[in-house]
Amino acid sequence: MKVLIVEDALPLATVYGHHLSRAGIDTLHVETGREALSRIRKGGVSVVLLDLQLPDMNGMDVLETIREEQLPVTVVVVTSSGSIKTAVDAMQAGAYDFIVKPVAEERLVTTTRNALERETLTEVVAEVRKPTSSGTTKGFVGSSLPMTAVYKMIESVARSSASVFITGESGTGKEVCAEAIHKSSPRAKGPFVPLNCAAIPKDLIESEIFGHVKGAFTGATSDRDGAAARADGGTLFLDEICELELNLQAKLLRFLQSGTVQKVGSDSLKKVDVRILCATNRDPLDEVESGRFREDLYYRLHVLPIGLPPLRARGADILELARHFLTQFAKEEGKVFEGFSVEAEETLMAHAWPGNVREMQNTIRNLVVLNEGPIVEAEMLTTLQGRTPSPRRDPGRVPRQMPVSPAGQPAAVTGGTGPWPEITLALGQPFETLEKQIIEATIEACGGSLPKTARVLQVSPSTLYRKKEIWAAQDQGSEDAEEAIETA
């Protein structure tokens, strides 16, 4: 990662380069704005130290061009002008930080390192969010970081023939996940056979998996292939596998080891080529430790684990899913619904969704059937009335104090009209830091409601959800983000 120094004064550029080189940071140097833009467009530059007074163009014009073309660099403005207006203009134009000449070595190195870390984290988050290439998101709706990691995991395991163990709460989409793996795998042209082990009577489950011959038991009037044989050349998905009795678990283990199927009532064996995917809403290790699930079968199946996040942990996906189902069910029912009111979105976001995506489907279908559009109001969400919402912060009335840096002068910021608490911001900080402080203070004053905060700040709610996800990733640090990519 290189730092581009844009400075027409060669002595200053030399000093900056010397300071950064001693800190182990690679640098390049150009003297004009046009040279800077040309070098940035070529790639390989992560951070730009930009002088605002250039011989051919104003540094603010360079900033505007970087923002308009969405060039992937982080800009630190270096100027002899220390006015607050210049700082605000630079931040609004997209600068990450603002330092004033003469620049102390420690300040220069620290700011540059922070900018490099920010750019690294931005690249990591972009990589995690990058869409998958083989359509593995088919069947899923949502673009949150937890789901993006799931998509990448699906894409990775689909190429393998090893068993996959999917875990997650009821309603999180375990069968959707299994089918996405199958459709993205080399077995996609073969059959996908799902079997819910919890929905079949215990005395019939063996026949459902392995099949039976005529007369094997009362009611067996003809030979019948089981799910394992029907999945030959494709994928067998065993949902709620922890519901299997121990004696049947032993037979399943033998099937996995030998690849042969023995029908109930038959002495003959049939070779089949099947990939096994399984799922449970329980903790499989707890089931093993309690003696309800065979340890050898667990390790045979638990080769490639995938954990699906609950809906309450997916942030803005809640509204994305709600809009998706609203469009789908309105079309099916012949209704005209265009969207949700702010209050309805707030109700959706506040709900804990214990039934996850399945509960969301039922909720949206219910309101579509029982109401008329075009806008979904909060009172239409009757199935959520009386439910306990997820915890919220109390806005309180205590003014929120921000730390004041020695070099900056505190500026009181109020909410204008209305009973808004005051906050104190320290100038001389990056624009993103000030923005985060203002947004977080407004969220707190709005009782934790992002839709209400969006209305106050006159921005889209999705903008706030996206920023909160980025801040959460920054709080975890780049190491955690790298681990997320490795897991995916």
Q: Is the pLDDT of residue 78 over 60?
A: yes
Reported as a pLDDT band with limits 50, 70 and 90, residue 427 is confident
Centre a 10 Å sphere on the Cβ of residue 168 and count the other Cβ atoms it contains: 19
Strand partners, 363: none
Q: Which is more confident, 472 or 192?
A: 192
Q: Are strands 410-413 and 423-426 parallel, antiparallel or unpaired?
A: antiparallel
What is the predicted pLDDT for the residue at 87? Answer: 67
pLDDT-wise least confident of 31-40, 96-105, 471-480: 471-480
Burial 191-213 (b: 16+ CB within 10 A, else e): ebbbbebeebeeeebbbbbbbbb
Q: Is the pLDDT of residue 479 over 90?
A: no
CA atoms within 13 A on the CB side of 401: 4
What are the respective helix, strand and coil percentages of the chain, to the nearest 5? 45, 15, 35
Q: Is the pLDDT of residue 321 over 80?
A: yes
pLDDT-wise least confident of 143-152, 328-337, 448-457: 448-457
Look at residues 441, 437, 417 and name the one whose alpha carbon lies nearest to residue 429.
437
What is the predicted pLDDT for the residue at 446? Answer: 81
Reported as a pLDDT band with limits 50, 70 and 90, residue 261 is very high
What is the predicted pLDDT for the residue at 402? Answer: 34
| pLDDT tens readout for residues 214-242 | 888 888 889 899 999 999 999 999 999 99
Contacts with 205 (C-beta within 8 Å, 6 or more apart), sequence order = 197, 244, 245, 248
CA distances (Å), origin 410, targets 18, 275, 284, 421, 434? 34, 64, 55, 16, 12
Contacts with 108 (C-beta within 8 Å, 6 or more apart), sequence order = 16, 19, 20, 99
Percent of the chain with pLDDT over 90: 48
What is the predicted pLDDT for the residue at 1? Answer: 74
CA distances (Å), origin 320, targets 141, 315, 409? 7, 10, 42
Q: Which domains does the chain have, with CATH numbers?
A: 2-128 (3.40.50.2300), 145-309 (3.40.50.300), 312-384 (1.10.8.60), 400-487 (no CATH)
| pLDDT tens readout for residues 85-130 | 776 778 777 888 888 888 888 889 988 988 888 877 766 656 555 5
Q: What is the mean pLDDT of residues 42-70?
A: 89
What is the predicted pLDDT for the residue at 83? Answer: 62
pLDDT-wise least confident of 75-79, 248-252, 388-392: 388-392
Note whether 229 and 187 are within 8 A (CB): no
What is the predicted pLDDT for the residue at 467? Answer: 80
Token pair listed for 455: 């209305």
Answer yes or no: pTM beyond 0.85.
no
Task: Indicate the helix (H) or strand (E) that contains 363.
Answer: helix 356-370
| pLDDT tens readout for residues 167-197 | 999 999 999 999 999 999 999 999 999 999 9
Token pair listed for 375: 């806008």
Q: Is the pLDDT of residue 6 over 90?
A: yes
Q: State the Cα torsion 471-472-473-475 to the nearest 10°.
A: 80
For 359, the 3-state DSSP assignment is helix
DSSP letter at 308 equals P
Token pair listed for 115: 């900018």
Strand partners, 410: 426
Strand partners, 340: 376
Mean pLDDT over all residues of the chain? Answer: 83
Percent of the chain with pLDDT over 70: 84
List phi, psi (to 5°) of 297: -70, -40
Centre a 10 Å sphere on the Cβ of residue 226 and count the other Cβ atoms it contains: 23
Look at residues 310, 308, 315, 311 and name the one whose alpha carbon lies nearest to residue 466.
315
Note whether 143 and 254 are within 8 A (CB): no
List phi, psi (to 5°) of 29: -140, 135
